Amino acid sequence: MGKELGLDLWIKRDDLTGFAGGGNKGRKIEYLLADVLRQEADTVITCGSSQSNFVRQLAAACSMHGLRLRAVTMDVPYDGPVGAPSGTRLVSKGGNLMLDDLLGAQVDILPDGTWDELFDAVETAADEERSAGRKVATIPIGGSSPVGAFGFVQAAAELDQSFDTIVVATSSGSTHTGLVYAFHGTSTRVIGVSCDPEPGLVAETLVPLAEGLDKITGQKKRLRESDFEYWLDWVGPGYAVFSDDGMAAIHRMARAEGIFLDPVYSAKSFAGLVGLAERGELSGRVLFWHTGGFPSLFAMP
């Protein structure tokens, strides 16, 4: 496929990381769960979409360590000012939800609403668990905290050769931030292809995550908005809703390489890579960072 796009194209296979169905979230959980264990919590609460890849991998990690996981979810949470998207979406059965049940997680599926309503529901759930006598640790959506982003600062060290450009999906932001932080000051360009229609994500989320990484690492990179390349062109109708370009990317990758993308994240980010290549905005050695999400294919309608 690289020849078709005029690129020396490589893929970082985080879909094959080997833990709980694969995916980028395991890199964050490695550090996030260590923090939970230090707190001596017995219950973990997080949130996301009902077909969340993060919830699936976190459920496995919690089960392995004897922790209870409660995930507060909506099928399609959305940004209030943008409004609820319409279009084809994953169904509320099978896929990651089946695996969550297998792993013993409690998944609450609320009616669709805004991200703020979802985050408020997390606080309500945490209060309920504390009232029941449990010691609670909360983990933000997608594991997106400076600790989670640090997992991708470390991941960058696995690359044993240089790349002109890295293309990755960005949503809750810590994967993108960790990679930008790791390659800041080098010749490698990191492009985040957004899966959410949130133009303010860089200023509101990515820059604060990078500030947290400065504290963790002791460095003073002081990343600004201009340090992040963030494309909204391939979001489609909205978060967790299929896009035409994304579905075309799923078929193209599967039939050309035997590699599966998911409709929410990796399909949109690879569609972005293809689009940028076709516009002549990519060249040389390019790495597509595959973030996983394979189980969600079994929740496609």
Mean pLDDT of 210-234: 98
pLDDT at residue 235 in the model: 97
On whether the 2-18+144-299 domain is CATH 3.40.50.1100, my answer is yes
pLDDT at 8: 98
Q: What is the mean pLDDT of residues 39-54?
A: 98
Domain 25-143 listed as CATH 1.10.150.120: no
pLDDT tens per residue, range 13-22:
999 999 999 9
How open is the CA angle 95-74-27, to the nearest 5 degrees?
A: 60
Q: What confidence score (pLDDT) does residue 153 get?
A: 98
Q: What is the pLDDT of residues 150-194, one digit of tens each?
A: 999 999 999 999 999 999 999 999 999 999 999 999 999 999 999
Find, among 124, 291, 295, the residue nearest to 195 by Cα.
Answer: 291
Task: Please write the tens of the pLDDT for every residue from 105-129.
Answer: 999 999 999 999 999 999 999 999 9
195 φ, ψ (degrees, to nearest 5): -105, 0
Average pLDDT over residues 20-35: 97
Give Cβ neighbours of residue 249 (< 8 Å, ≥ 6 apart): 261, 267, 268, 270, 271, 274
What ranges do the domains of the chain cover? 2-18+144-299, 25-143
What is the percent of the chain with per-residue pLDDT over 90, rounded to a whole number? Answer: 99
Whole-number Å distance between alpha carbons of 212 and 51? 28
Query: Taking the CA of residue 288 as centre, how many other CA atoms within 13 Å lie in the half-sphere pointing to its CB?
Result: 28
Fold agreement (2-18+144-299, 25-143): yes
- Confidence class of residue 104 from pLDDT cuts 50, 70 and 90? very high
pTM higher than 0.85 for the full model?
yes
In the chain, the percentage of residues whose pLDDT exceeds 70 is 100
Residue 226: the pLDDT is 98
Sign of the CA dihedral 193, 195, 198, 204?
negative
Q: Provide mean pLDDT across the span 76-89.
A: 94
Establish whether 52 is a catalytic residue: yes
Structure tokens at 125: 């759930």
Q: Could you tell me if 249 and 274 are in contact, meaning their C-beta atoms sit under 8 angstroms apart?
A: yes
Mean pLDDT (the chain, rounded): 97
Which one is catalytic: 50, 52, 144, 145? Answer: 52
pLDDT digits (tens, 9 = 90+) for 266-279: 999 999 999 999 99
Model confidence at 258, pLDDT cuts 50, 70, 90, reads very high
Q: Which two tokens stand for residue 18?
A: 């080997």
